[in-house]
Structure 1
């Protein structure tokens, strides 16, 4: 199988997934990964890997590579309740994107002001925890910088 370097979709502070205030993510029910507490201010969420946009909502997206490895990025917790307000989608479902390409513009401060956590889970879908290595779970991370490697 291929090795995929998964990059941070946003700039901020890396956190273990267990610190996400939602049990679906914290208990890795959808898959293992790393979370990022984003910097404040309007910013672009970028593709964590190159591939095809297979799922797209204003608050979340999945990019899958040619081998079918899908990475879920969820912009904040319970942000589906914002019904897209404050999120600008820059691509369409089915688009081929490169790692680091801006996919959605959003404002973590506006998410916080609406009463939600702006933390961004980055999940390796259908992966085992053992398949991930080099996990960055603390410290600053730039958008496009490696979060983990998926083998």
Structure 2
């Protein structure tokens, strides 16, 4: 069994899922992981693929990539951003695309999201996984840049 490194898809401050202002993520209902709060002064940021794999879902506010191991990682760009109906987002991938970790997936206007009184917090979770499958979790409160190892999946 191989270990999959999940990379930070954007720069910012690491948060434990319990700190995410959404009960579905905070209670790890969709899976375990961490979240990243973009820098306060962020304007537009490019959100990248956290793992190498196939895009299984690509929406403006969220995407899922499936690794060959079967692990699928969801990146949700902001909280309640589905209500923006794509405004403030530019998606550069489609379902079925093969990506390498670090490839650009979506550009988002963080300043716009925040101007709509929405959280720009970005949960990064492993779907259908158990918390004990995650290891080497980045510490909450630590700063990350795109491409840093956020955690690993066993």
Residue ranges of structure 1 left out of the alignment (5+ in a row)? none
CA shift for structure 1 position 23: 0.4
- Aligned equivalents of 1:108, 1:129: Cα separation in 2: 29
Is residue 34 from structure 1 mapped to residue 26 from structure 2 by the alignment?
A: no
Is 1:8 paired with 2:8?
A: yes
Is residue 94 of structure 2 the alignment partner of residue 110 of structure 1? no
1:32-71 CA-to-partner distances (Å, cap 9, x unmatched) read 0000001212110000000000011000000001121100
Partner SS, residue 121 of structure 1: strand
What RMSD, in angstroms, separates the aligned Cα atoms of the two structures? 0.7
Secondary structure of the 1:135 match is: coil
Q: 1:65 aligns with which of 67, 70, 77?
A: 67
The question of 1:85 aligning with 2:87 is answered yes
Runs of 4 or more consecutive aligned structure 1 residues displaced over 3 Å after TM superposition: none
Counterpart CA distance in 2 for 1:138 and 1:64 is 28
| TM-score with structure 1 setting the length | 0.98
1:48 corresponds to? 50
Report the number of matched residues.
151
CA distance in structure 1 between the aligned counterparts of 2:51 and 2:43, rounded to whole angstroms: 23
Shift of 1:82: 0.1
> Partner of 1:24 in structure 2?
24
- Relative to the length of structure 2, the TM-score reads 0.96
Query: Cα offset for 1:144?
Result: 1.1
In the alignment, the residues of structure 2 paired with residue 127 and residue 91 of structure 1 have an alpha-carbon distance, to the nearest angstrom, of 25
Shift of 1:138: 2.4
- Cα distance in 2 for residues equivalent to 1:68 and 1:133: 17
Q: What 5-or-longer segments of structure 2 have no aligned partner?
A: none
Query: What secondary structure, in the 3-state scheme, does the structure 1 residue paired with 2:25 have?
Result: helix
